[in-house]
Amino acid sequence: MSANAQIQRKFFDFELGYSTEVEVASYFQKKGYNTQTVEDILCVGNVRFGGIQWHTAFFKFHKGKLCSISFTNTEQTIPLPQLEEMRDRLKNNLNRKYSDYFNSNISNDEFYVFKDNATNLTLRYSRYELGYNLLIMYSDLEAMRDQIREETNEL
């Protein structure tokens, strides 16, 4: 893929904004993964993505369609030096692939954001009470906007 490619929206056998929870859950269950659903989020353990083995993948749904995918590792599951190496490798690869979409206005040392007209991509490396957490998340912008509108209307 070229350095100017749009941000990826297809993962495994599904696509942001289109795939259903049944399709996503069925895919992982057929492959023997442990899955668990909590409200509108499907959790899948021990998933490989982007050359990294992730402790947990989260597939979030809005109105029955896949609206975000996130992968996470923590200091409890990966030694800190290895977690930092993963962060640096991901940051470099994302910058190389999506540099035209880097959003410097909201990015900092812990939070890297890339955004095109349909997808938001966030790489986050942050400290929390039990240690450090590394997360990469792809989100469908229209589904996010719709969810925010609905939540705002509830107020």
List pLDDT tens digits, range 61-100. 999 999 999 999 988 888 889 999 999 999 999 999 999 9
The confidence band for 3, taking pLDDT boundaries of 50, 70 and 90, is very low
Break the chain into its structural domains and give their ranges: 10-154
Residue type for position 86: M
Write phi, then psi, for 93 (nearest 5 degrees): -65, -40
- What is the average per-residue pLDDT within 110-139? 91
Question: pTM of the entire structure?
Answer: 0.89
Residue with tokens 């989100």: 139
pLDDT value for 67: 96
Q: What is the pLDDT of residue 27?
A: 96
In the DSSP assignment, the letter for residue 117 is S
pLDDT-derived band at 107, boundaries 50, 70, 90: low
Strands (E), 5-146: 10-11, 14-15, 35-38, 41-49, 52-62, 65-74, 111-115, 119-128, 131-140
Instruction: List, edge to edge, every strand of the sheet that includes 35-38.
Output: 35-38, 41-49, 52-62, 65-74, 131-140, 119-128, 111-115
How confident is residue 1, by pLDDT bands cut at 50, 70 and 90?
very low
- What is the fold of 10-154? Protein Transport Mog1p; Chain A (3.40.1000)
* Mean residue pLDDT across the chain: 90
